[in-house]
């Protein structure tokens, strides 16, 4: 896979597929981590005299313009980070994009409007997707893939466009792939995996792979309750995927056969209703044993004994991969479990990888120093699919 150091970019129009898919509250960015992650690649291209055209998706608009998903706030924030004016095209392949990109001089940057305002970006029809990629290719001379959070998508700007232009991986993607290889090829042991998040179905494929590679798997978050149900415990009104209970039973049995520690919560914080995440009003949770959740209560975080247990299981790790919060970390009453796992990673001497998505957002929201972790991924889904052993379309397109 070529990197941007292999490209002659001075005076060239360089199309950078970034991941500026940041959370917004109206037009206010609530977490700019993904913008800051790609900024060094863009800055390097600027320093080398490229005319940089940045493109990304944001949210899930339905193939047509939607002001709620405009990239204008992200473009403005990118300009602040780079310390220079960043032009913004109000469309992707229309008059504004053509005018803005044609007007760039060496070292200038422009951001195109949301790629997903065009149906061709996400189309499952190869011809429709290819036609959109042709229009994007007309804007540029070179392609740099640096949106790791999107490389598991077979989308026009990720998969089809690099086939139409000389291409290379940006520094962010090169770093992400290097880190993930450390989790799959030459792992320092004990190898401990901490998995959380809402749905166990989102993690089944990666659990299937990790049972073959990890020494310990710690489970928290909403997905833990399906595993607890599989062990015959009452889970009350907690998040539950009843149809996944047989799969959970199978993985628990496989882990035991292979000698992999599969660790579930021993206590949880419960309440009668989900907390208000806007007002963050006090929720007054109770703590109960994980095998004694009342029928009218919902588990919303791992309890204090589980936090101590998980910290102990992480203490001697050589490598840690963490993907998914341990509870509803957005509310202060249910942030303790996620905070405890993050702190345990910092306290260990392991090579630590935070697997993107909500875990990365939690690290920032809870006030941890991002640089203290070995690596914080910008792509939760992409990281998981890489660890599952899947071929990621965006990486495959950059490798040829």
Question: Is position 9 within any domain?
Answer: yes
The answer to the question of residue 41 being in a domain is: yes
Q: By mean pLDDT, which of 170-174, 246-250, 396-400 is the weakest?
A: 396-400
Specify whether 185 is located in the same domain as 308.
yes
From the annotation, which residues make up the binding site?
19-21, 34, 57-60, 116, 153, 203, 299, 330, 356-359
Split at pLDDT 50, 70, 90, the class of 264 is: very high
Residue that is last in its domain, among 170, 196, 216: 170
Tell me which residue has tokens 């640089």.
371
**pTM score > 0.85 for this model?**
yes
Q: 179, 203 in Cβ contact below 8 A?
A: no
* Residue 193 within a domain: yes
Backbone angles phi, psi at 144, to 5 degrees: -125, 120
Mean pLDDT, to the nearest integer, of 220-237? 96
Name the active-site residue from 357, 379, 380, 394: 357
pLDDT beyond 90 at 184: no
Confidence of residue 185 (pLDDT cuts 50, 70, 90): confident
Which residues make up each annotated binding site for (2R)-3-phosphoglycerate?
34, 116, 153
pLDDT of residue 225: 97
- Look up 199 and say whether it is catalytic: yes
Residues 121 and 222 in one domain: no
Give yes or no: residues 200 and 317 share one domain. yes
Helix (H) or strand (E) holding 376: strand 375-376
pLDDT at 60 over 80: yes
Mark whether 119 and 205 lie in a shared domain: no
> Within this chain, do residues 196 and 240 fall inside the same structural domain, yes or no?
yes
Would you state the pLDDT for residue 119?
A: 97
- Res. 357: pLDDT tops 80: no
* Phi, psi values for residue 371, rounded to 5°: -70, -10
Spatial separation of the C-alpha atoms in residues 16 and 115, rounded to whole Å:
12
Residue 154 structure tokens: 């077979």
Binding residue numbers for substrate:
19-21, 34, 57-60, 116, 153
The domain in which residue 59 lies consists of 4-170
In tens, the pLDDT along 16-31 reads 999 999 999 999 999 8
pLDDT at position 253 over 90: yes
Binding-site annotation: residue ranges for ATP: 203, 299, 330, 356-359
- Examine the fold and report which residue of 122, 151, 170 is the final residue of a domain before the chain moves on: 170
* Tokens (6 digits) for 237: 């009104």
Q: Please check whether residues 27 and 60 belong to one and the same domain.
A: yes
8 and 92 belong to one structural domain:
yes
Give the confidence band of 378 by pLDDT, cuts at 50, 70, 90.
Answer: confident
Burial tier of 54 (Cβ tally within 10 Å: 0-12, 13-18, 19+): buried
How many domains is the chain built from?
A: 2
Residue 393 within a domain? no
The b-or-e profile of 41-51 (16+ CB within 10 A means b, else e) is bbbbbbebebb
Given the residues 13, 34, 48, 154, the one annotated as active site: 34
**pLDDT given at position 379:** 84
Please check whether residue 255 lies inside any domain of the structure.
yes
List, for residues 299-354, the tens digit of each pLDDT value. 999 999 999 999 999 999 999 999 999 999 999 999 999 999 999 999 999 999 99
Q: Say whether both 105 and 228 belong to one domain.
A: no
Whose structure tokens read 């965006």? 394
Percent of the chain with pLDDT over 70: 100
pLDDT for 355 = 86
Give yes or no: residues 237 and 374 share one domain. Answer: yes
Last residue of a domain, one of 145, 170, 195: 170
Identify the three-state secondary structure at position 216. strand
Q: Catalytic pick from 36, 182, 199, 364?
A: 199
Active site residue 381: yes
Residue 34 lies in a domain: yes
> 267 and 371, same structural domain?
yes
* Same domain for 79 and 17: yes
- Among residues 222, 337, 380, 381, the one annotated as catalytic is 381
Domain of residue 133, CATH code: 3.40.50.1260
Same domain membership, residue 76 and residue 45: yes
HSE-CB of 336 using CA atoms within 13 angstroms: 16
Say if 394 falls within a structural domain: no
Q: Is residue 398 part of a domain?
A: no
In this structure, what DSSP letter does residue 211 have?
T
């Amino acid at each position: 896979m070529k990197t941007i150091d292999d490209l002659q970019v001075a005076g060239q129009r360089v199309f950078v597929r970034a991941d500026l898919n940041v959370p917004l509250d109206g037009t206010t960015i609530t977490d700019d981590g993904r913008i800051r992650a790609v900024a060094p690649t863009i800055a390097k291209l600027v320093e080398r005299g490229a005319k940089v055209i940045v493109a990304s998706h944001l949210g899930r608009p339905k193939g047509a313009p939607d002001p709620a998903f405009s990239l204008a706030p992200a473009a403005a924030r990118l300009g602040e980070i780079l310390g220079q004016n960043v032009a913004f095209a109000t469309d992707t392949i229309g008059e504004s994009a053509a005018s803005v990109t044609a007007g760039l001089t060496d070292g200038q940057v422009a951001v195109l409007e949301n790629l997903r305002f065009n149906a061709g970006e996400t189309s499952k029809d190869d011809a429709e997707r290819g036609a959109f990629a042709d229009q994007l290719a007309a804007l540029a001379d070179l392609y740099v893939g640096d949106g790791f959070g999107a490389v598991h998508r077979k989308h026009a700007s990720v998969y089809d466009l690099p086939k139409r232009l000389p291409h290379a991986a940006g520094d962010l993607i090169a770093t992400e792939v290097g880190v993930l290889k450390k989790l799959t090829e030459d792992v320092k042991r004990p190898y401990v995996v901490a998995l959380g998040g809402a749905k166990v179905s989102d993690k089944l494929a990666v659990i299937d792979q990790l049972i073959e590679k990890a020494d310990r798997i710690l489970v928290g978050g909403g997905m833990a309750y399906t595993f607890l149900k599989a062990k015959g415990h009452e889970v009350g009104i907690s998040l539950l995927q009843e149809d996944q209970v047989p799969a959970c039973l199978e993985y628990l049995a496989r882990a035991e056969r292979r000698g992999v520690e599969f660790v579930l919560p021993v206590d949880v914080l419960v309440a009668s209703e989900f907390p208000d995440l806007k007002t963050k009003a006090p929720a007054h949770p109770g703590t109960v044993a994980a095998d004694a959740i009342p029928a009218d209560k919902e588990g919303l975080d791992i309890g204090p004994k589980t936090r101590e247990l998980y910290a102990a299981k992480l203490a001697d790790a050589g490598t840690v991969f963490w993907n998914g919060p341990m509870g509803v970390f957005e509310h202060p009453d249910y942030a303790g479990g996620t905070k405890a796992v993050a702190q345990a990673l910092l306290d260990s001497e392991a090579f630590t990888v935070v697997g993107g998505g909500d875990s990365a957002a939690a690290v920032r929201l809870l006030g941890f120093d991002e640089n203290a972790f070995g690596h914080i991924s910008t792509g939760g889904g992409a990281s998981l699919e890489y660890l599952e052993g899947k071929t990621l379309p965006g990486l495959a397109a950059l490798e040829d």
